[in-house]
Each structure stands twice: as structure tokens, then as C-alpha cells.
Amino acid sequence: MLALKNFITSRHFLTIVFFFSLTLLFFHYLPEPGGDSNPGTAKASIPQTTMQSDRLADEAADFGREGYLEFQGTIKSGDTLAGSFETQDIPGEIRDRFFTAFKKIMDFKNIHPGDQYSIIVDPQGEIVKARYQMNRFTSYTAVPDNGILQVSRDEVRLDVRTILINGKISTSLFAAFPDDLKNPKPIYAFADIFASRLDFNTETREGDLFSLIIEEYYRSGEFIGYGPILAARYEKNDGEILQAYRFSPDGKKYNYYDPEGHELGASFIRSPVPVARISSRFSHHRLHPILGVVRQHLGVDLAAPIGTPIMAAADGRVIAIGTNGGFGKQIVLAHAGDYRTYYGHLSKFKAGLKVGSRVKQKQIIGYVGQTGLATGPHLDYRIRYHGVFKNPFALKFQPKSTLAGAELQALTRLVAGLETNLRTGTTDELVATASLTLSGDRQPALL
């Protein structure tokens, strides 16, 4: 032990340790076969990938080997498809094959900003898959079949939730709908259903109750939009009940009917502006707010923001359009049965309308304004019958049609299936769920 201790502390031992350490360092820094002798550049020489190249690698992996490329892009405002392809440096022969295949099923003039496309090519430059996405419901995919690209429209699977929404009126119909409503379209659709029976500007009362059954559409968990209202109910606090059910007597065109088979769309709607405030009523003795004299006001003023759309109260024909003194910009429609309707103080008319133009009920004919003698933006709305102006909100109109026989029996069965859900429930609740597959030219019926 004494000899070993003397050796460890000697100069010979220290020399051996020194040379052994140098040998380890030498072998540590030797380059690997074929590698770079500089360890700092070896790491830097590894190619840096981008998100796009990672995605291309994933797409290539789908085909089982490397060498596949993907070209993709999004149509911008003012783009043509050819111009977008050129921006993405898509080779000319690939562009030609894409256009040749897709022109059989889609119109390249009918493209829109936001449309997306992708083209995957193999190492030989042949297209193995191409896709064009027009919107959430319409996309086309091309794959080769015996060397020829075959294009077909993609199927779209939607989840459909049928829900009940109900509430109580305190100040207005708009305010009574739930705060978590995904968009306001159900409110306007509900008001539109009863437009010939109830004016939601003047005839709602605190305590009135409403309920509706409506569809919600989802794709991969994302809300797409509201479908049509299937059934609607409005119960006034005086006990009167209005009901409406979406029904198609011929299996093609849908309308709303009450349980007795009367179509709710009457010859005239109650108000050409469904959601507005009455700022002046029909009167034979009204103090004019600007002229300061008492005179007749043979219509109703519906206050609404400038630009609010105005609908034709019934099918008719334009007999006057232009500026008319204190009425400002005014349009006058003639209707069957010797009715005429007047719409004054407009900000502008719907483009394309002129004397002689035919309009359909609920068609937009102009927009609320403040032209002529007006203290604020509103619509002056009037109805004349056999040459005499009538109070628009006092007139009663007949329904367009009434069901009978087998059609009425079919409606009765529909009512029986929906009425229980429509009447019950104090909170919003799920009525049913279903799946819908869109194929061909089929589109969902969204509000």
C-alpha cells in the first residue's frame, strides 16, 4: 500500500493521466465518416422545414412515398382562377389538366373571394388529387380513373338539432329572445310568419308569450346557421292564440298555415317594416311637426334607422317613383282589388325599379330615409282603397288559400306531432337530433 501511494503521488502517474486525457479528446472530435469536420456547421446544415413543407410531407405520406407536391391557394378579391394559379407558380401543364377536368362540372366565372383549391402531383408531375372548395356546402374533388381525371361533388354531412325557443314579452319581441341566440335571423323570421295577423310594432303587450321550433345546422361541431322555423306560437295576454306550421301541400313549396288550414300569408302584410317604432298614427287631425298646422295624416309613420329595408305590402305594380314634395322620395304601388300603397321619405329606391315594374309581396322596394318634410328617419306608409285612405293597421285581409280534404288531413297530422313540443317547456330545450347528408346540388334550407 505504501508503494502504491508513492506511485500515485509521483510525476510518472501525472504524466500518464495527462496523455490519457489528450487521447480521449482526440477521439471525441474525430469527424464521423462522410460528415463535416466542423461540429458547429454539421448542425446548421440540417434543412429547416416550414409549416407548409410539413403539410406537404403529410399529404405525400398519404400516398405512401416521397416526392409528392401540393399546390394550394385562396381566391382573393379581383382574382381569376388562372391568375391565382400563376401566382402560386403552378406549372402550365398542371393548370391545363385541372381546367380540362373541372370545366365539366363548374363555371370558372362563378368563383368568389375565399374559395380554396389544392392540387397534389406525383413525382412524374401527374395529378393524383385536386380539390376546389366553393363554400361550406359545395366542394369538388378530382381523382384519376384510367388516366383521366374524374370530378365529382363532395358529400357534406351536417348535424341537425331541432330546438324549442320561448319567452315572454316585456318591452319588445326583439328583447324577449334569449341572449345566447347565435344571430337575429329567427327573430325576423318569426315576425315575418305572423306579418299578416299581427303588427309587432304596435300590437305586442307586456306578458304576451311566444314559442317556436327551429332547426340548427352544425358541421364538425361548428354552427353553420339556423334552418326554417317548423312551428310558431304567439299567445296574447288577453287569451288570443296565433299558431303557424310550416307545410307543403304539394311536397315542393312550403308555406305557413294555422291548424285550421288557413295560409298565414294574406293578401297584404301588416307592416312593410317588421321591426320599427310607431312615431305617428293615422289621424284626421294632427299637428304637423314642421309646418305647425293641424292637418290630416292619412297614414302611419314607422321610425327606423336610415337604410332599413322596406318591403312591398302585397304583389303589385309600380305606378309612381320619384320625388313628391313633402313626401320626399316616394314610391306608389297598385294592387289587385283597387288597392294602392304609398311609401314616403325614402333614402333611396331599390335599384332597377321604374314605373311599370312588377313586385312581389315582401320584395324590397326601398330604404328608410329622411327626405322631404321629416324630423327624423322614418317611413310614411299609406293604403288607399277605392280612392279613400284607410288606417293600414285597422284593415282586415283574407288569407291567400285554405286547405281542404287530404291536404288538411296531412296538416292535421303534422300539427299533432309538433303542438305538444310547442306548448310545453319553460326553457329552451332540445326537441330532436338528426343527420343530413348533402349530395349533388342539394343545399340546406337556411334562414
CATH number where 291 lies: 2.70.70.10
Q: How many angstroms separate the CA atoms of 354 and 322, rounded?
A: 9
Residues 309 and 412 in one domain: no
Residue 26 within any structural domain of the chain: no
Average pLDDT over residues 67-96: 92
More confident residue, 18 or 231: 231
Count of the separate structural domains present in the chain = 3
Judge whether residue 7 has pLDDT over 60.
no
More confident residue, 379 or 110: 379
Residue 251 within any structural domain of the chain: yes
Question: Of the candidates 132, 154, 176, which is a domain's last residue?
Answer: 154
Judge whether residue 4 has pLDDT over 50.
no
Residue 10 within any structural domain of the chain: no
Average pLDDT over residues 72-90: 93
Cα–Cα distances in Å, from 69 out to 55, 129, 139, 141, 182? Answer: 10, 11, 21, 17, 40
Percentage with pLDDT > 70 across the chain: 81
Asked if residue 93 lies in contact with residue 42, where contact means CB atoms within 8 angstroms, the answer is: no
The pLDDT tens digits of the residues spanning 123-165 come to 988 999 999 998 888 889 999 998 889 999 888 899 999 999 9
Residue 123 within any structural domain of the chain: yes
Q: How many angstroms separate the CA atoms of 52 and 89, rounded?
A: 15
Percentage with pLDDT > 90 across the chain: 46
Cα–Cα distances in Å, from 309 out to 190, 229, 299, 343? Answer: 17, 22, 19, 12
Average pLDDT, rounded, for the chain: 81
How open is the CA angle 188-395-301, to the nearest 5 degrees? Answer: 60
Residue 107 within any structural domain of the chain: yes
Judge whether residue 312 has pLDDT over 80.
yes
Place of cell 495527462: 18
Residues 297 and 365 in one domain: yes
The residue type at 399: P
> Out of 127-131, 184-188, 250-254, 293-297, which region has the weakest mean confidence (pLDDT)?
293-297
Residues 163 and 252 in one domain: yes
Residues 408 and 259 in one domain: yes
Adjacent-strand bridge partners of 213 = 164, 231
Residues 258 and 404 in one domain: yes
Residues 363 and 302 in one domain: yes
Residues 207 and 243 in one domain: yes
Judge whether residue 26 has pLDDT over 50.
no
Residue 436: per-residue pLDDT: 81
Residue 280 cell numbers, joined: 305617428
The pLDDT tens digits of the residues spanning 89-104 come to 999 999 999 999 999 8
Residues 261 and 165 in one domain: yes
Residues 208 and 233 in one domain: yes
> Out of 6-10, 35-39, 99-103, 263-267, which region has the weakest mean confidence (pLDDT)?
35-39
Strands (E), 169-261: 209-219, 222-235, 241-247, 255-257
Judge whether residue 52 has pLDDT over 70.
no
Residue 66 cell numbers, joined: 416521397
Residues 195 and 338 in one domain: no
- Confidence bin at 431 (pLDDT 50/70/90): confident
Residue 140 — φ and ψ, nearest 5°? -125, 140
Residues 411 and 386 in one domain: no
Average pLDDT over residues 175-183: 89
> For the chain, what is the radius of gyration of the CA atoms?
36
Q: How many angstroms separate the CA atoms of 82 and 96, rounded?
A: 10
CATH of the domain at 406: 3.10.450.350
Judge whether residue 45 has pLDDT over 50.
no
How far is Cα of residue 126 from the mean position of the Cα atoms in its chain? 38
Residue 41: per-residue pLDDT: 27
- Confidence bin at 435 (pLDDT 50/70/90): confident
Residue 6 within any structural domain of the chain: no
Question: Of the candidates 154, 181, 199, which is a domain's last residue?
Answer: 154
How far is Cα of residue 129 from the mean position of the Cα atoms in its chain? 30
The reply to whether the predicted model has a pTM over 0.75 is no
More confident residue, 347 or 29: 347
Place of cell 334552418: 227
Residue 32 within any structural domain of the chain: no
Structural domain containing residue 197: 158-266+400-438
More confident residue, 212 or 24: 212
Residue 399: per-residue pLDDT: 73
Residues 336 and 260 in one domain: no
Residue 72 — φ and ψ, nearest 5°? -145, 155
Torsion angle, alpha carbons of 249, 255, 258, 262, to 10 = -70
Asked if residue 71 lies in contact with residue 90, where contact means CB atoms within 8 angstroms, the answer is: yes
Average pLDDT over residues 185-198: 86
Judge whether residue 13 has pLDDT over 80.
no
Judge whether residue 341 has pLDDT over 60.
yes
Residue 169 within any structural domain of the chain: yes
Question: Of the candidates 95, 124, 154, which is a domain's last residue?
Answer: 154
Q: How many angstroms separate the CA atoms of 228 and 246, rounded?
A: 8
- Confidence bin at 424 (pLDDT 50/70/90): low
